[in-house]
């Protein structure tokens, strides 16, 4: 059963990625600064369908803010992109390595993803400028301030540098709490062991394990917004992290102080 499930889902996934390539070629331009409203809608459907194909069932509480906003979420897996991007039109901030992933990196770039080179201060400043530009022009931007994925048992330190974009653009910050669980057979909120994409794991190996799972439940909670004006970025990062940790309390332990 697991083998049949894997291959059936893999075939559907490959066909869906091929469809994504065709739609992206038709609806975007190579140097386009931001996706069109039509492409945003189709991309949202495409990402949501990716989640369904690989066996992820999405449950949401609350709703994303209307208009431009900086959304910040804890980070567990590459699945986060399909899950969150299938709920609302978003531009993501991703590590620069993703740009070089075959096909998927190209799709991400043409779909409006912003890229940052990890560990480089100048790259972070440039990313903050790009985020500010997108926010001022009315887009929602989602970033993962932990800077890496975790296993779902802790909320890591939030790096505050990019929170300055919300202050400069004068938009609200909306924390988003995310966790993956099994649909039944375990206490509610128990982290799913397969969903995290961490350590030295490779994308193909992790995808292969995900495809074998009967169902992974993604629980997404859109939390009350945080006003950015009048606050420094360290305070904003700390408040956002604490909001997410409180929502996941009892399932995800708080960890670490806000970085500089």
The beta-carbon contacts of 229-237 under 8 Å, at least 24 apart in sequence, are: 229/167, 229/170, 231/167, 233/160, 233/161, 233/162, 233/163, 233/164, 233/167, 234/160, 234/258, 234/260, 236/160, 236/163, 236/166, 236/167, 236/173, 237/145, 237/158, 237/159, 237/160, 237/163
In this prediction, residue 169 carries a pLDDT of 96
In this prediction, residue 120 carries a pLDDT of 64
Q: What is the pLDDT along the chain (260 residues), one digit of tens a residue?
A: 788 999 999 999 999 999 999 999 999 887 776 778 899 999 999 999 999 999 999 999 999 999 999 999 999 999 999 999 999 999 998 888 888 888 888 898 888 888 887 666 777 888 899 999 999 999 999 999 998 999 888 899 999 999 999 999 999 999 999 999 988 756 566 789 999 999 889 999 999 999 999 999 999 999 999 999 889 999 999 999 999 999 987 545 545 444 44
Q: How far apart are CA 53 and CA 51, in angstroms?
A: 6
In this prediction, residue 187 carries a pLDDT of 59
Whole-prediction pTM value? 0.89
In this prediction, residue 110 carries a pLDDT of 86
- 49 φ, ψ to 5°? -70, -35
């Amino acid at each position: 059963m697991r083998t049949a499930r894997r291959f059936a889902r893999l075939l559907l996934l490959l066909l869906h990625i091929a469809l994504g390539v065709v739609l992206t070629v038709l609806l975007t331009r190579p140097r386009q600064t931001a996706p069109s409203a039509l492409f945003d809608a189709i991309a949202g459907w495409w990402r949501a369908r990716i989640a369904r194909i690989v066996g992820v069932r999405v449950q949401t509480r609350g709703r994303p803010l209307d208009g431009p906003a900086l959304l910040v979420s804890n980070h567990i897996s590459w699945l986060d992109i399909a899950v969150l991007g299938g709920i609302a039109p978003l531009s993501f901030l991703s590590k620069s390595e993703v740009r070089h992933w075959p096909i998927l990196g190209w799709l991400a770039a043409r779909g409006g993803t912003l890229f940052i080179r990890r560990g480089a201060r100048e790259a972070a400043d440039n990313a903050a400028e790009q985020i500010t530009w997108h926010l001022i022009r009315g887009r929602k931007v989602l970033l993962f301030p932990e800077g890496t994925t975790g296993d779902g048992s802790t909320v890591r330190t939030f790096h505050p540098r990019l929170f300055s974009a919300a202050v400069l653009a004068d938009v609200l910050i909306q924390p988003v709490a995310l966790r993956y669980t099994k649909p039944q057979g375990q206490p509610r909120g128990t982290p799913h062991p397969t969903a995290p994409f961490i350590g030295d794991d490779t994308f193909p190996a992790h995808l292969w394990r995900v495809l074998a799972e009967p169902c992974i439940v993604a629980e997404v909670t859109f939390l009350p917004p945080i006003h950015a004006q009048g606050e420094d970025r360290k305070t904003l990062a700390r408040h956002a992290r604490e909001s997410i940790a409180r929502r996941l309390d009892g399932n995800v332990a708080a960890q670490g102080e806000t970085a500089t």
